[in-house]
Amino acid sequence: MNTKNEKQTILIIDGYHLLHKGYYGSLKRKTVAVNRDGVMINAIYTFVAKINELIDMNIYHTIIVTFDVGQGCWRRDLYPEYKAKRKETPEELIPQMQIIRQFLTSANIPWYEKPRYEGDDVMGTISKIACKLGYNVHILSNDKDTFQLVSDDVKIITNVSKKEKPTFVELSEVYEKFGCSPKQVPDIKAMMGDSSDNIKGIKCLHYKQATDLLEKFGTVENIYANITQIPPSICSKLVSSKEQVLLNKKIATIQNNVQLGRIDFRKLRINWYAYLKFLKEQKMWAFTGNVVKNIENIKTNGYDHSTQKCADTTMNKICGNKKANI
């Protein structure tokens, strides 16, 4: 249980990641769920199932969901080839993205997005505000870029597949897997590149060479400021790629100052009646029993204001202290 001296924990969910995972993870099933209008809702099923699971855990003060808007991005303005090799969003997933926003609004679960910014930037901003207000933060995402947000007060929950336990990423896991601090993740990405985002790194630069440079100089900007101290064989590689590396650093850095308006950090209070109405409208009968149970419980006992379990302790037990597997 949380004591008066323990911080309450906010969970921030990468909504885009969760929807995509649900969509692709359920395509192989014999029957794919559709709603009354014949619209595929397989991603929504997975999303709602996860929300139910997280609520029932009773470890979070509130749950906040973030989304990409998908209408251009400031990173692509700087680098038009950014994520150019990624597949287009499946046509069947597009309407589900709007339906899930309707679900969250109905259930009274706060969600945020910002045109021209990615969900990572929204997460980074909310995380920073939450920490300033004294909250502990967990972020549910499989995007390794979010590892740069890890701190004493911010941890990442990754879940690669159903066959594996989720991973609880703390400071030690970031050092172990990246060979650098969380704040240096954009720097290592700037030098080594990232094929998933179509970001080109420095040709023929070894990972150990990059981490050694960061250990000595701290940032790519400081590496270039002290370029005369670097051995000629490595120096020439750095100089020839300077413009690209500095651009990569900007692109790889998650923003934490996006103008989102007032963030709702009030204790989560689900509107179970609207939740149930949404499930019935979408023919999602598998979840109605649990919702009806919650409604009956509220009628009898009122809303539960009991103290949550300690989120960090609970997640460490669930994950079995398993190390990050990127």
Q: Is residue 31 domain-resident?
A: yes
| In a shared domain, residues 137 and 192 | no
| In a shared domain, residues 303 and 194 | no
Q: State the pLDDT confidence band at 324, using cuts at 50, 70 and 90.
A: very low
User: Considering 218, 252, 286, which residue would you say is the last residue of a domain?
Assistant: 252
**What integer is the mean pLDDT of 242-252?**
98
**What integer is the mean pLDDT of 300-324?**
76
The H or E element containing residue 167 is: strand 167-169
Residue range 178-206, pLDDT digits in tens: 999 999 999 999 999 999 999 999 999 99
The enclosing domain of 243 has a CATH number of 1.10.150.20
Q: Is residue 32 domain-resident?
A: yes
Q: State the pLDDT confidence band at 1, using cuts at 50, 70 and 90.
A: low
pLDDT at 6: 75
| In a shared domain, residues 129 and 199 | no
Q: Is residue 188 domain-resident?
A: yes
Give dist(CA 61, CA 265) in Å, integer: 8
Q: Is residue 324 domain-resident?
A: no
Give dist(CA 92, CA 22) in Å, integer: 12
Share of the chain above pLDDT 90, in %: 82
- Confidence check: pLDDT of 4 > 80: no
Closest CA to 145 of 115, 113, 169: 169
pLDDT at 325: 42
Amino acid (1-letter code) at residue 21? K
Q: Domain residues for 274?
A: 9-177+255-319
Residue range 46-95, pLDDT digits in tens: 999 999 999 999 999 999 999 998 778 999 999 999 999 888 899 999 99
Q: How many domains does the chain have?
A: 2
